[in-house]
Chain A
Amino acid sequence: MNHKNTLPKHLRNLLLAACTALPAAGVARPSGQALAFTCAGCHGTDGSSVGPSMPAIAGMDPEVFVDAMQAYREDKRNPSIMNRIAKAYSDEQLEDMGWFFASQRLRVFPQAYDAALAAQGLELHQQYCEKCHENGGLPGDAGTLAGQWIPYLHYTMEDFINGKRQWPRKMKRKVEAAIEAAGDQAIPALVNYYGSQSSTGPTMTTGTTGASGAEEQEQ
C-alpha cells in the first residue's frame, strides 16, 4: 500500500530531468539578446565588430537587419557563411535580434585611412549618397556606413560592382555618377570617408540638405 503511494522510480527520474531542462523551457522565446550572443564571435560584442572585414551591426536599423538576414536565408545575397547561419532563425527571432542590435550604440575602433581620400569622399558622399545614407552614413534605413571597417566596405562595393550583390533601387545610378565624377578614386574616397568616421575624420558641414532637417526633427 505504501509502495503504491510512492512515485515510481522512472517517473521520478523523468521529473528530475525535466527540472534540469527547465531554464530553457521557462524562457519560451529566447530573447533577442540571447540570440545575438552567437553573432558576437564574428560581429563583436553586441555587434560592434572588431575585425577588418566584418561589418559592424550594432545600432543597425532593425528592418535593414531583417531584410539582410532574410535575403541570406533565401540565398538572395552573396554570402560567406551567413546563408547557413540565417536558415536557423524564424522571422520572429530575426526581428528580436534586429531589435536588440538596434538598441545598441555602435562602438567603433580607430582605423588607418587616407585623409585626402576621405576629404574627397565627403564631397562625393554629400553629392551622391547623403540623401539615402543620411547624416554621413550613420545607422538608418539605408544601412550603416559611418565608422564601418574600410576593408569590409571595399569588399561590399566590389560585390556590387561585380554584380555579386543586387544593387538597391537607384544606388547603381548614383555610384556610377560618382565614378564618372571622380573616376577610380570614387570608391576608395568614399570608403575612406566612411572609415575615417571611426577616428575623427572629415565631418559633415552643417546646413547640408537633410542633415540639418534631421537634427531639427530630433530636437
Chain B
Amino acid sequence: MNIKWLFLILLLFSLFGCRKEITNWDTQWSFPVIKDQLNLQDLVTDSLTLLNDTNGCKLVYDKTLYRIKLAEFIKIPDTTIQSQLAINFPSLNVSPGTILSQKDIENKLEIGDAELKKIKVKKGAITITFLNPLATKTYYTIEIPSFTKDGVAVKKTLMAEKGSTNSPSVVKSTLDLSGYSIDLRGVNNHTFNTIVTNFDMQLDSTASSATKVTNKDITKMSIAISGIQIEYAQGYFGNLHIESSTELPVTSLQKITNGNFKLSEATVELNILNSCKLMAKGKINSLISRNTLSGINISFQNQQLNNPFYIAPAWTKDNQLITTDKKFIFNSSNSNLLSFIENLGDLYKINYDFELNPYGNLNGGWDEFFPTSEISLHLKSIIPLHIQVNNLNFKDTLDLDLSNIPNGKSIKSGQFKLHCASSFPLDATVSLILLDGFKNILETIEGTARIAGKSKFSSENKISNVYFAPTLGFFTKMNSVKYVIVKTIFNSVDKSFEIPYNGKIDFQLSTDFEINTHY
C-alpha cells in the first residue's frame, strides 16, 4: 500500500495545524497619570500680571493698544531728478580735456504739504544715470552736497564711452543711502524739500583731435531716489489727520460661555503718549465691549469720551527726549466701568481721531521725530480679585488624539480618579466632552462630584475626590477621539470673596481600568 498515501496524509497533517480560537482574559490596572499644581500665577498669562499689596490681590492688565509711527505717515516718495546740459552754439569744435559744468542746481521734491529741512535715511538708494551723445569718451562727475555721511558729500565720477545724438552711450551707478543725512534747505539754507546737485563733464583729454559738438548733443543726467525710509526728520510735517478704529480680541474670555461674575471695584487708566516734537489733537469716539456669544454690546460711558483733547509736543532736555502724555482714569464712580468689564466681552472696539499739527506750522518748521517717536495708546486696568461668581461656564477645547493607543478596543471599563486639594474659594464642576475629527460628540463624561473650594471661614484646604467614568460603549470607539472639551462651571463658595495671591489647587489623576487581553 499504500505507503505513499500514508506519507501524503502525514504530510498534510504536518502542514495544517488546528485552528486556534481567541484566548482572552480580563485584568485590572491602576496607576498614576498626572500630578501637578495650578496656582494663580499659572492662570495669569500674556499681558496679565498679579499685584499683591496690602489691599489684597489684583489682576493687572497692561497693554499698548495702538502705536502711530510718524515714519509711516511722513514719506519721501520714489522720485527721479533730471537735468541736462548742452552748448548754446549751433556747432563747436571742443578740444580734448575741455570741462563743462553745472553748479548748484536746486531740485525740488514733492512731499505733500510737509516742508522738510533735514532727514536721516534708515534705508534707501539712488541710481545715477548719464546719457552721453558726444562722439568721444567723456568723464562725468556728480556731486550732491545735500547728501552727506560723516560730513562727506556724495561725489561720483563715471566714464561714458563715445555715443551719438541718436544713440547716446549710457553709464549708471547705484549708491546705498543707508545712514546718509539729507539737507533739504537748498543752496542758501532757506528753503525746504530741496536737493542741491553739481555736475561736470570732461571730454577725453587723450583724444587726438577736437570733438565737434552741436546744440542738439544734449547730455542728460538723472538721479532716481527709491525706497527711502526715514529715521529722523526735521521741518514742518504738515497737517495729518488719522481716524481709525482698533479691535482687541481677548480670546481667553471666549472660553466663558455662560454665567456671570460681579466685581467690587476696578480701575482703568487710558494714557496717550507723544514722543514726537509736534502738537497733536485727539478724540476717543467710542469704546465698546462685545460679548460675541451673548451678542451683548456695552458702550463705555464717561463724560471725557467724545471730547477733543490736546497733547503738547515732546521736548528735549539735556539731549533727552521728554515724552508728553494725556491720561484718563476711569472707575466705577465716573463711568460704567464695572458693568463694562462684567459683560465679559471677548472683543473690544475703540474708535478715535488724531490730528497732527492741527493749527498748521506754528513753530517755524521745527517739528521733529526720532526713531522711537510715536503716539501711542496704553491701557492699564487694575481689577481687585474680590469677586462673586455664579455658574460661570468655562469651556476649553484641547487636541487629544487617541488614535495611536494600541488595543483600544480591549479596555472594557474603567474610570479616572481625580484627587484635589484646593485653596481657591471656588467650587468647580467638571465634565469632559470627547469629540471625533469632525467635532461630533462621542462621549460626555460628567464628574461624579464637584471639586470643592475652600471657604473663607476655613483654614484647611478642601479635599475632593471626583471620578470620571465613561460608558462601556465608549471604549470601542475611543480611538476616534481627536479633541476634548473641558467644561468647568465655577461658583463662589461664599457670597463674596477674595482670591488669595497664593491660591492653588494640587491635583492628581490616576486610572482604574479593566482591560481585556486577547489574541
A, B co-complexed: no
A-binding residues in B (CB < 8 A): none
B-binding residues in A (CB < 8 A): none
